[in-house]
A = this chain, B = another copy of it.
Amino acid sequence: MGIARAAAFAPASMGNYGVAFDVIGVAFAEPGDVISAEWRDQPGAIIASIEGDGGRLPLDPAQNTATVAANSLLRHLGLRRGVSLALQKGLPLGSGLGSSAASAVAAVVAINALAGEPLSREELLPACLDGEALISGYHPDNAGPSLLGGITLITGAHLTEIRRMPVPDNLRFALVTPDLSVSTAAARALLPKTVPLRAMVAQTAAVARLVDALHRGDLEAMAEAMERDGIIEPARSSLIPLLAEARAAAKRAGALNLVISGAGPTLAAVCAGDETAGRVAAALGALYDGAGIGCMARATSVSAEGARVLAVE
């Protein structure tokens, strides 16, 4: 009978690497989603259960990124059987950490394991993107890093447009997610439709410095370039309470920068080393707690490998 059940983990990710809006993404070691997949006789994917979402995610297979991605993969593989998915949400919804992408990626990696690994990680990307498209359009800024790991340069949806970038030594992140939800659609609606040519030149220059710094392994230059965002962050800063205070607190605690993760409200601060990242996470947590805003704060690192199979039975 072969494999009856397979489980996979897919990590959180930051789709906007600071100034590199829709161009560079990164996978975090944690948190992440876990999906367990089992065969069922009927065709198509269904959701058996969801834990950790506070009852907010849809069970309807047409409305959940995990099942949409799963069905895309089942079609691609030409499978007549279907799958039943059990979803453990490890990362918060609408938080700027690529929640919908992580669910799509975990589903697809679990089903690929269930089917005996017919496809490579890279070949799984189209199905992940089909799932992600349900929420935020056909763009691999979160699904790419969550699936493949590392820091990824993403210039289009085709695989040849996704390149792994070198990861600077000692790169750590402090993340804080204040207790409020920001929808990607709402955050996108705040963006300007057009930008002045001068601002575009400044943005391209900053992205060029960022890519240069990544290749040189220069953590400080990388962090500095990430913060040179004159377009996206100013448009969205109103969505994030205490953004300026958080940046100041993070830097006082030793962070090299602080940027909005994706559409927010998660904030990510680049730090050199575990100790600093822990201190910065604590400072960010204390800031929001002190202001009466609940939050989750943690220190993490880059997920080098991205999504992974946890168990096969």
Binding site for B on A (CB under 8 A): 20-24, 153-156, 163, 165, 191-197, 200-201, 203-212, 215, 231
Contacts and interface: CB of A to CB of B under 8 A. Distances in A.
Nearest to A188: B197
B207 A208 contact: yes
8 closest residue pairs by CB, A with B: A215-B215, A155-B205, A211-B211, A194-B194, A204-B207, A200-B200, A23-B205, A22-B201
Contact of A209 (B21, B153, B201): B153
Contacts of A165: 212
Contacts of A154: 205
A153 B206 CA distance: 10
Nearest to A211: B211
Contacts of A201: 21-23
A194 B197 CA distance: 5
Contacts of A209: 153, 155, 163
Contacts of A191: 197
Contact of A197 (B193, B197, B207): B193
Contacts of A195: 194-195, 197, 200
Contacts of A207: 204, 207-208
A203 B229 CA distance: 15
B203 A192 contact: no
A196 B195 CA distance: 6
A143 to B, nearest CB: 16
B204 A163 contact: no
A212 B151 CA distance: 13
B208 A153 contact: yes
B21 A204 contact: yes
A193 to B, nearest CB: 6
A9 B215 CA distance: 33
